[in-house]
Amino acid sequence: MSKEKRSTVHQALIEITPALEVSALFVVFFTFSLCEFSTKVSKNIKEGAGGVCEDCGTFVGRGNLIASHIYHSKKAKYDKEHNGMARCFSCEGVYHLRNADDPEMIGLSQKDNDTAVKSYLTRLTEKQLAEIFLNSKLKKSWENVLLRMKENQY
């Protein structure tokens, strides 16, 4: 990507990401309040991946992997290894962002999915965000997430 194009992307990012100024407390709260596998299942999913994101194939190390739910409805099989995969923060954010306009598809409420999008995207570098927002559909979805969060105050 050219320098000029990247700086345009950064400018656009600055305009649409005021909500990224989120406190660490929020992230911690989110981590403990929503959608976690039990410790044992989470450990198995991460260890099985060997430090590699099972979505993009990047080695990020075990500490930077999330045991991600494929389907979030808290019914039978919720806490099973086959309902999970190891993802990096970027892929996890994109996964929730892709489903942001129809989160019921992955068993989440609008609020919970929007909160997940914000939580994971907040952990990314500007460069990672810029790459995600090169996809205009994802960028639009992110703008919608921010709009809903503002309108509904969550």
Q: Pick between residue 28 and residue 56 the one whose CB is nearest to Zn ion.
A: 56
What is the C-alpha to C-alpha distance for residues 152 and 9, in angstroms, rounded to an integer?
A: 28
* Smallest distance, Zn ion to C-beta of residue 15, A: 26
Query: Considering only residues 85-144, where is the footprint of Zn ion by CB under 5 A?
Result: 88, 91
Least gap, CB of 4 to Zn ion (angstroms): 28
Residue whose CB is less far from Zn ion, 138 or 149:
138
Please tell me the number of Cα atoms within 13 Å of 107 on its side-chain side. 13
Residue found by looking up tokens 């969060």 in the block? 149
What's the min distance (Å) between Cβ of 89 and Zn ion? 8
Q: Residue 122: helix, strand or coil by DSSP?
A: coil
> Phi and psi for 30 in degrees, rounded to 5?
-60, -45
Q: Burial-class residue 81 by CB neighbours within 10 Å (0-12, 13-18, 19+).
A: middle
Map the footprint of Zn ion across residues 7-26, applying CB under 5 A.
none
Selected from 36, 55, 126, 143, the binder of Zn ion by CB under 5 A is 55
> Min. distance of Cβ 88 from Zn ion in angstroms?
4
CB-nearer residue toward Zn ion: 110 or 135 = 135
Q: Does 53 bind Zn ion (CB under 5 A)?
A: yes
If the CB atoms of residues 49 and 91 are measured against Zn ion, the closer one turns out to be: 91
* Closest C-alpha to 117, from 150, 133, 95: 95
How far apart (Å, rounded) are the C-alpha atoms in residues 118 and 18? 11
CB 93 within 8 A of CB 121: yes
Task: With CA atoms as reference, report the closest residue to 118 among 60, 34, 12.
Answer: 34
Residue 52 CB, nearest approach to Zn ion (Å): 9
Q: Is residue 56 close enough to count as binding Zn ion by CB under 5 A?
A: yes
Query: Which residues are near Zn ion by CB under 5 A?
Result: 53, 55-56, 88, 91
